[in-house]
């Protein structure tokens, strides 16, 4: 995800700041980039639409608006599903793991800040 975080300065230049809350929009593009696929054209459009539709379909169930990292994961996995690089069962296993561990990571960071 470091690659996605590095895009924040470019958002300012375009007049649309990239925040943690809207980082999920970049997930399908990052997937395409890392998989050596074109980020424009029919395949890219299909992958982006699939990933973002996956976000909409799962937003309420997983509380994605308050969990931006999980939202990114969900869209990143959705892009891989659209490219047939993962099947639904594999994506579900990864999502369940992330869902259980991303919250733990946030709590650990808060605990470290409290100790300082």
Domain ranges of the chain: 2-115
DSSP reduced 3-state for 7 = coil
* pLDDT single digits (tens) 95-108: 989 988 887 655 45
Amino acid 42: pLDDT: 96
Q: What is the mean pLDDT of the chain?
A: 81
| Maximal C-alpha separation, the chain | 51
| Nearest residue to 49 (alpha-carbon basis) of 70, 21, 30, 75 | 75
pLDDT for 81 beyond 50: yes
Over range 4-20, report the average pLDDT: 59
Residue 103 Cα distances to 15, 92, 109, 112, 113, angstroms: 31, 17, 10, 14, 16
Rounded Cα distance between 10 and 111, Å, is 32
Q: With cut-offs at 50, 70 and 90, classify the pLDDT of residue 11.
A: low
């Amino acid at each position: 995800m470091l690659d996605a975080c590095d895009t924040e300065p470019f958002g300012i230049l375009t007049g649309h700041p990239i925040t943690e809350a809207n980082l999920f929009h970049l997930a399908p593009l990052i997937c395409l980039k890392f998989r050596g696929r074109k980020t424009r054209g029919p395949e890219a459009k299909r992958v982006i639409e699939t990933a973002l539709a996956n976000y909409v379909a799962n937003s309420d169930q997983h509380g994605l608006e308050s969990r931006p990292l999980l939202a990114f994961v969900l869209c990143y996995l959705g892009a891989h599903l659209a490219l047939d690089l993962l099947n639904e069962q594999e994506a579900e296993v990864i999502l369940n793991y992330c869902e259980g561990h991303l919250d733990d990571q946030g709590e650990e960071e808060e605990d470290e800040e409290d100790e300082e």
